Amino acid sequence: MKIRRILATAVAAAVTTPVVLLSAAPAFADTKPGTTAEARNKKPTLDELRLAVTKAQAVYDAAVVADSDAQRAMDEFDKPTNPLAVTLAAAKKASAEAAAAKVLADEALTKAKDAQAKLPADAPQADKDAAQKAVADAQKAADEAKTTADTKAAAYTAADTAYDDAAVELSRTINKAQKAKADALKALDAAKKELADAQEEPGEDDCDFDKNFVTTLTGPTKVTAGTSGIFNLRVTNKNKAGGLTFDEVGGWADAFSLDDGQDKYLRVDWSTVNSPKWQPVDEEEGFSSLSAVKPGGSFDFKLKVTVDAKAKAADAVVAGGGGYQNKDGACGFTDEGAYAEFTVVKPAKPAPGKDTDKGDGNTTEQGGSSKTPVTTGGTTGSTGGTLAKTGAGSSTMPLGIAGGAAVVLGAGAMVLVRRRKAGADA
């Protein structure tokens, strides 16, 4: 779903929260690449992409018609009633008949010459004159037959050439039409894909930080190793009555330790009133509310942070963010993420003589989970007022990379925060 892409950008916003605490990189807070008018103009709008699809469709439709017309022309050409075929057939027949007539004329000339040659020397002059006339007449007929045969042969050759040329031209037309059709289809598919990608991954023209989409994160300040703590990620619609309703909201969260090598001992699961079963946070899909949030309303995502019994005592952070997607295509994401600090503590050693098999009702055995916070010694969290805008537009980085960024940026920053606090208290 499109909201998954939006959540990816929300992640980028959420993980920078600890960095802002340091005030070490003001450029992060003030720089938001790709949102200037010049940058926006470089990327086609959805309307422009739809128009491109319409134009590409028109070109393809025309190419289909042209290809169909070319194929139909070739089919008509192949019929014996085709004028060129009729002319060719007639010329072929006439040429054949003229050639046959020439053969007969040549044979008659040969006979006349033979008859003349066989006359004896003392033959009557009348016979000699008749033989001479017969040869002359046969010669004239042979010459006329040759002229006629040559003319008919030339006509046949011309008709045959015209037929072949027309066939070749039609073949070229078909090839061009088929290539144009294939190219038009390729262009149409590309235009459709570009539009689909733009709709699936909203651009900065139609999806951006929304100050009325606010997230807060609260929870226990301590979680005992081997148990779980329940945190609450709340998304709030700050629009006034009559304003925009968020048709579907979603979120993302991760927990990381400020002690190197301890992240592997932290796991985050989520649930909502609509999905009460605990589920692990998917790095690629996050989680969704499956319900709308009206102006002034809120929706809560429960986050269960489970700490393995092998975890060392250390400071840790839960960071989260979210976004929304409406049916009409409107979308946005929190421009100020949320975080909550907590401390991983080791279980208290039982006093001598105490029964060590009894729990306090608030925790579970190692590997298990608790439906309530392990400790209730207060809550801590952001109200969304200290997050920098990272400039991550709606063409977002993969959530898996974002999760890594949470560890690198968030954990490193919080370590420095802790050290600063310790230095200030010294």
pLDDT digits (tens, 9 = 90+) for 315-349: 999 998 888 888 877 888 887 778 899 999 999 88
Report the C-alpha gap between 98 and 121 in whole angstroms: 37
Kindly report the number of other CB atoms within 10 A of residue 44's CB atom. Answer: 16
Report the C-alpha gap between 328 and 334 in whole angstroms: 19
pLDDT digits (tens, 9 = 90+) for 223-251: 999 999 999 999 999 999 989 999 999 88
3-state helix, strand, coil in the chain (%, to 5): 50, 20, 35
Question: 402 and 284, same structural domain?
Answer: yes
Q: How many percent of the chain have pLDDT more than 90? A: 53
Question: 263 and 154, same structural domain?
Answer: no
Q: How many percent of the chain have pLDDT more than 70? A: 70
Question: 287 and 401, same structural domain?
Answer: yes
Tally of CA atoms within 13 A in the half-sphere of 137 that contains its CB: 10
Q: Residue 337 carries which side chain, given as an amino acid letter?
A: G
**Residues pairing with 216 in the sheet:** 234
Range list of β-strands (E), 308-374? 314-325, 331-334, 338-345
Distance from chain centroid for Cα 246 = 26
Report the C-alpha gap between 174 and 15 in whole angstroms: 59
Q: Determine the pLDDT at residue 11.
A: 52
Structure tokens at 3: 């909201």
Coil, strand or helix: which one is 391?
A: coil
Number of domains present in the structure of the chain: 2
Question: 415 and 274, same structural domain?
Answer: yes
Q: What is the dihedral of CA 114, 116, 118, 124, to 10 degrees?
A: 170
Question: 319 and 243, same structural domain?
Answer: yes
Question: 142 and 31, same structural domain?
Answer: no
Q: Residue 105 carries which side chain, given as an amino acid letter?
A: A
Higher pLDDT, 301 or 422: 301
| From 34-38, 156-160, 296-300, the region with the lowest mean pLDDT | 34-38
Q: Is the dihedral of CA 360, 363, 368, 372 positive or negative?
A: positive
Report the C-alpha gap between 195 and 376 in whole angstroms: 50
419 in any annotated domain: yes
355 in any annotated domain: no
**Residues pairing with 230 in the sheet:** 304
Asked if 30 and 359 count as a contact pair (C-beta separation under 8 A), the reply is no
Structure tokens at 158: 């011309």
Question: 265 and 167, same structural domain?
Answer: no
Least Cα distance to 307 among 243, 357, 375 occurs for 375
Q: Determine the pLDDT at residue 402.
A: 33
Average pLDDT, the chain: 77
Helices then strands, counting H and E runs in the chain, come out as 9, 12
Structure tokens at 390: 């990272």
pLDDT digits (tens, 9 = 90+) for 77-120: 999 999 999 999 999 999 999 999 999 999 999 999 999 999 99
Q: Determine the pLDDT at residue 208.
A: 78
| Domain end call among 200, 220, 249 | 200
Please name the residues in contact with 378: beta carbons below 8 A apart, sequence gap of 6 or more.
220, 221
Question: 367 and 238, same structural domain?
Answer: yes
Question: 411 and 272, same structural domain?
Answer: yes
Q: To 5 degrees, how large is the angle CA 287–CA 290–CA 295?
A: 105
Higher pLDDT, 44 or 58: 58
- Count Cβ atoms within 10 A of the Cβ of residue 161 and give its class: 0-12 exposed, 13-18 middle, 19 or more buried: exposed
Question: 75 and 20, same structural domain?
Answer: no
Domain coverage including residue 82: 56-200
Distance from chain centroid for Cα 362 = 48
Least Cα distance to 142 among 107, 194, 191, 169 occurs for 107
pLDDT band at 354 (very low <50, low <70, confident <90, very high): low
pLDDT digits (tens, 9 = 90+) for 147-192: 999 999 999 999 999 999 999 999 999 999 999 999 999 999 999 9
pTM beyond 0.85:
no
